[in-house]
Every structure is written in C-alpha cells, then in structure tokens.
Chain A
Amino acid sequence: MPIQYYIYLCLALFSIGIIGALTRRNVIIVFMCIELMFNAVNLLLVAFSKMHLAAASISDKASTVGSDGQLFVFFIMVVAAAEVSVGLAIIVMLFRNTHSVDINFLNRLKN
C-alpha cells in the first residue's frame, strides 16, 4: 500500500483526537482523545519507518534504516502509560472531591 494512505489515516486519527480533546466536556473522554493522538503518532512513526527501510533496502538488502522510528514507538508507549497512571490518579482525586468528571468545573479558577 502506498505510504500516503497511512499518512491520511494517521492525520485523520490525530485530527479526531485534537477535535475531541478541544470540544468534549467529560474528562475521561478528553483523556481518551489525547491517547488517540499518541496512537496516531505511533502508527505514523511505524509507517515512516517502513518507508525509509523500503527506500534504503533497494540499494542495500541488509539495511537497518528506520529501526529508530520503531524504537521511538516503544518510548511513546511507556511514557503514555506513565501519563495514564498519573492522569487517572488526578481524575480520581478530583472525583472524590467533586463527585463529577465534568470539565466545566475547571472554569472556577478563572477569577
């Protein structure tokens, strides 16, 4: 499959993530949208990694070009997991105090 398809798919997923994070009111869903952004990037990195490998292996069959892109994906997964653990703890803390996970709550700090 041509690389463009992957790029379009990833950009679509990423845009869904951004739009969701900016418009939804439920903290958990906002959070899921942010995770979607991360995963769109993961997919894109893997696709680019394969693209660079395919380009390099025309001249050199044993090329390892592009492995760094796939390594990056693992780092993103680990960091995303760390962020989830902290983020969910924060949401639980908020829920204990307010009994709600609505983001409109955040307007109280404005003044």
Chain B
Amino acid sequence: MNAIIVSALLGVVMMFSGILLKNKSTLKYIAIGGLLLLLIANLFQTYGVYTVVVNSHELLRFQKFGLFFNTIAITATLIYVILSGKDIENAGNYPAEYFALIFFVLCGVSILCGFNSLLMLFLGIEILSIPLYILTGSDKRNLKSNEASLKYFLMGAFTAGIMLMGIALIYGATGSFGISSPSIISTPTGGTSVPRASYLEIAGVLLLFVAMCFKVSAAPFHFWTPDVYDGAPSVFTSFMATIVKVAGFFAFIRLLEGQSAILGPTWKILLSFVIIATLLIGNITAVFQQSVKRMLAYSSIAQAGFMLFALYSASDIAKEGILLYAAAYSLATIGIFAVLIKMKDYTLDGFNGLAKTEPVLALTTTICLLSLSGIPLTAGFFAKYYMLASVVKTGTGLWLVIVAVLFAAVSVYYYFRVIQAMYFKEGVAETTEITAGFKAGLVFVAALIVLIGVLPSVLLNYFYF
C-alpha cells in the first residue's frame, strides 16, 4: 500500500516540478530522490512498518513475495533512471512529464504486486499501460514513434476489452471477483478437483489467459511487440521491455495460480504450446535481424518463453526463479539498452570495433549479453537454471526442458554476433558523448550481474529472511 500511494504522489510532484523548475537537469535528481523514497517506503512495508493503513476489503493483499518483487522493480527503475536519465530528458520536449509517467507506471506495478481481485488486476494493468502509450509516442515529430504509439494503444485497448470480457464471464459463473475461484474445492485427499466449472467460467479463464499473453507478448499474440519496441524512443523501449514486462509476468503467475485448475489437464497442453511457439518465434526471428534494437525486441519475446516456465511448474522454486529471472533479465537489458542509446547507428555494423574506441562499454555490454544468453557465472545462468529445474522437479514436461535448452543454444548465436562485431570486426563505432559517471554506472550493473551469477543466494536468502 505504501508504494502505491507514494508512487502516485511522486508522479504528481514530478508534474509540478516541471512547471516550477526551469532547469531541466535537476529533474533527473528529483526523480532519483523520489525513487529512493519509494524504495524505502516499500522496504518499510516489507518489514512490517506501515505508514498508511487502508482497509482495501481484500481487494489488495500484500505478501512478502509480491513486495519483494516490487522492490526489484523499483530498484531496476532506479538503476535505469541513473543510467539513462540524461536520455529521458532528451527524448522529447517535456522531460518532467516523462518522469511523472514513469512514476505512474510504477504505481500500476505496485498494484499488480498485490492484487487480490480481478478488479484490481484490471486497474493495475490499465494504470501500467496508459502512461506507456504516451511514453511510446513521446517523440512527437517522428513518424515511427507515432505509429508505434498508435499500434500499442489499439492493441492495448483491444486486449483490455478481451480481458474485461473474461472477467465478466468469470463473475457471471462464480459471483465474485476473487482470484482464487470458489468453484475449485479441495478434495479430502488434498488435491484439487473441479466439480462443476461451467463453460462460462472456462471461457472466461481462457479469455483472461489470451489477454495476459498479449500483455507479456507471448506467441501467438506477440506480433505487436517488435514494431512497438522498434518504433518507441530507445530509452522508453528499455523501460517497457524490462520493468513493465516482468510486472506483467508477475501478475500472470499470480492470476493463474488460482485459476488454471479450472482448465484441468488441457491447461498444461495449452501452455506448452504457447511456450514452444514463443521460444521458436522469438529465437528464430531474432537470428535474422540486422538492427540490434529489433533483435533485442525479439530476444525479449524469447526470454518471455523462459519466464512462462514459472507458470508451467507453478511451484515455490519457480517463484524464486521468477524473482531471479526478473532481476537478471531487467539488469542485463537495461545495461544493453543504455549502451544502445549512446550508439549513433543501431545496426550490427554500428557496433563494429566498439572494443577499440570504448573498451569499458564493450566489456559491460558483453557481460550483459552473456547474462541474457545464460552463460555460467552470470545472473542469467541461474535464472534459466531455476526455471528449468522447477519444471524438472514437477516430473512432467521433460521434453519441454530439452527444447528450451536447444533454443537457449540458438540464442547464443545472435547474442554473440554483437560481441563478435564489437571485438573482432574492423570499424569505428560512433557514439555520442560518454561521461565517466555513465561508465561507472555500467560497471556497477555488470558487477551486480556477476555477483548474482556467482552467489544467487544473496538475492534469494534476502527473500526468505
């Protein structure tokens, strides 16, 4: 609750500071201060210090898992603003509003971390999405940005309609908006059975599933992702592809924990189809991309395929895994995008010879890419390991794990093409001006990735204590 209120207030504060302050560069520091405040407020609640107590009548229920996830999202945003704050200011004419919108998105993320009712799910998703439509179109004179914004908006609104229909059907069948459906009744043996899940309810859960697949860009509902990620200003693509996406995943998992039993055994078949399609389309299409930005968009679809494994196994180890995955994936992607924004040319050739001109940038990008492809000693390895291990532990779907490992091998190819361009190709990579502070930030991100990769327990022990 703390995080929801504080982030909404900070959004308003940022809007007013845009009117009151004439100096653009102070905005970044206000935003960093605000994010620190938000982080502290959230940590307070995690450890039981409530500054505000609001009786939400079971619409919201905050558990440690969700709060911890929120901490990861806020921390990732903080790192993102520190690294790319300058570029956010230069993305368009209204920097204060962009920071304000980022805070509003975080408000949506906080709601998604604690929703306990389909009403709050809907509100959270919308509060998360509507600011993003604006951020996507923030480069007002650029046709690509306009186009991406309109496309994202139409897709988002259409998805919201489908999601609402799903919610309405579930309400019709059960008479409540709770996320743990009352029609699932525990049998005496401890298992769950579905006595009379009506067709109405099954249709509702399926529609919700489709809508959430749209939101997290899982195939076959991924088609908007590359265009939108490519067209949006790069700074905001970074935000969309990381924090917003993992928040969507968190909501997805929390939602279907309670609802998936309604679908019975077909649920696993349906989900494995989606996982395979996502991995296939994401990885294979990424191989053929010449633009690094577009390649990252497809890679984010491929990574979504891995995150779906948490949904497949739906166990405690998968929950730990999704936390680790959220942290590893967000850090690495934020790092790569921070470098990408500084490049003058977004194609692979634009990276040629970066190691000679900017060795620090090349090295940190390499670490981030290694993490995304899941090489040991980086955070990405343990993230993928936990995901796959959770599926192996369930005893079913071993073939799915094998397919996933094969696709992880494919992903190495396209990530390493960037590394190859940086280190082994001749050329002069042109970058905009790079400050020492930016380099220090990147080194910090890379260090964090290696730290989590060597000692994943650092992050996970914290979760349990």
Contacts and interface: CB of A to CB of B under 8 A. Distances in A.
Interface of A: 7, 10, 14, 17-18, 21, 27, 30-31, 34, 37-38, 40-41, 44-45, 48, 51-52, 65-66, 68-69, 71-72, 75-76, 79, 82-83, 86-87, 89-91, 93-94, 97-98, 105-106, 108-110
B224 to A, nearest CB: 10
A82 B126 contact: yes
A44 B172 CA distance: 8
Nearest to B144: A109
A14 B168 CA distance: 12
Contacts of B150: 27, 90-91, 94, 106
Given A75-B123, A86-B130, A106-B147, A41 B165 contact: yes
B161 A41 contact: yes
Chain B interface residue number, banded = 35 or more
Contact of B161 (A10, A34, A91): A34
Interface string B163-178: 0110111011001110
A77 to B, nearest CB: 12
Interface string B126-156: 1000100110010011011011111101100
Contact of A109 (B147, B161, B168, B169): B147
Contacts of A79: 122-123, 126, 160
Given A41-B168, A65-B175, A72 B137 contact: no
B40 interface: no
Given A75-B119, A90-B137, 14 more contacts: A37-B165, A38-B160, A38-B161, A48-B168, A48-B175, A71-B119, A82-B130, A83-B157, A86-B134, A98-B143, A98-B146, A108-B147, A109-B144, A109-B227
Contacts, number: 114
A90 B152 CA distance: 11
Nearest to A56: B175
21 contacts: A10-B168, A14-B165, A27-B150, A27-B154, A34-B161, A37-B161, A38-B161, A45-B171, A65-B175, A68-B177, A72-B119, A75-B122, A76-B122, A83-B153, A90-B149, A93-B140, A93-B146, A98-B146, A105-B147, A108-B143, A109-B147
